[in-house]
Amino acid sequence: MQPRLLIPLFALISSVASSADFRKDVQPILKKHCYECHSEEADKRKAGYVFDDLLTLVLDIGPNGIVVPGNTGESHLIEVLTNDEGEKNHMPPKAQLSSSDIKKIESWIKDGAFLVNPTTVKVQGMGPAAEKWRNKEGKEIEASFIKIDGVNVHFKMPDGKILPYPLENLSADGQIKARKALLEVAGIKPVAGK
Ligand code: HEC
């Protein structure tokens, strides 16, 4: 099959460096206010959400997730943090995050909601095997994940050529898969539950 998915290319889109860092800016807030009820560490997965295991959390980051990258208004996570205390799904249930904590989470979402800084992650050796990737229109290619430059996923095609493709033009599942591949390449391991 021809890799028609890759036409048109948006190779001219410049890379953006993430300024809000998940592990430095966001994870400490979640650890302090949310892990008690949403972590493998505490063996609590209320409503199915855990925030310490990045390989699980990444499944909730995407166009249909509680975190919609680049879009705080669509992100249910921000809604539960900012709706009125006393509402059923206000989080954390009996407290209110400070507005500076909420701003940090918002700027992380605006910066693309990456769990590791994509610009520092590089494939070592062979890297991931080739697999099928689908875009929003349902077109499919077979390629291996190389990296995400902040905006584009870089794929290695069967002929060895590297092709950048806008992350947000992949299918919802493809976007999650690319974000998960990034974590795996970065060497992130699952947090074992108790
Ligand atoms: C004391 C326990 C507790 C803490 C602390 C807590 N949660 Fe929850 N969370 C729950 C429970 C219970 C539910 C499921 C019931 C509900 O929606 O109220 C839930 C549900 C959720 C949901 C799904 C809501 C929905 O609309 O379905 C999200 C998202 C969430 N929590 C995020 C967070 C975040 C982020 C924090 C930290 C800022 C946090 N929670 C802290 C207990 C907690």
The protein residue whose alpha carbon is closest to atom 17 in ligand 1 is 89
* DSSP H or E stretch at residue 98: none
The protein residue whose alpha carbon is closest to atom 25 in ligand 1 is 89
State residue 8's pLDDT score: 46
Q: Is 166 in the pocket of ligand 1 (CB under 6 A)?
A: no
Q: Please state the atom number of ligand 1 nearest to the C-alpha of residue 36.
A: 5
pTM, to two decimals = 0.89
Q: Is 91 in the pocket of ligand 1 (CB under 6 A)?
A: yes
Measured CA distances, 1 to 5, 112, 132, 174 (Å)? 10, 31, 12, 18
Whether the Cβ atoms of residue 134 and residue 121 lie closer than 8 Å to each other: no
State residue 10's pLDDT score: 44
Stretches where the chain sits below pLDDT 70 are 1-18, 193-194
* Nearest of 8, 166, 20, 163 to residue 103 by alpha carbon: 20
Residues constituting the chain: 194
What the chain holds in terms of domains, given with CATH numbers, is 4-15+118-185 (2.30.30.700), 22-110 (no CATH)
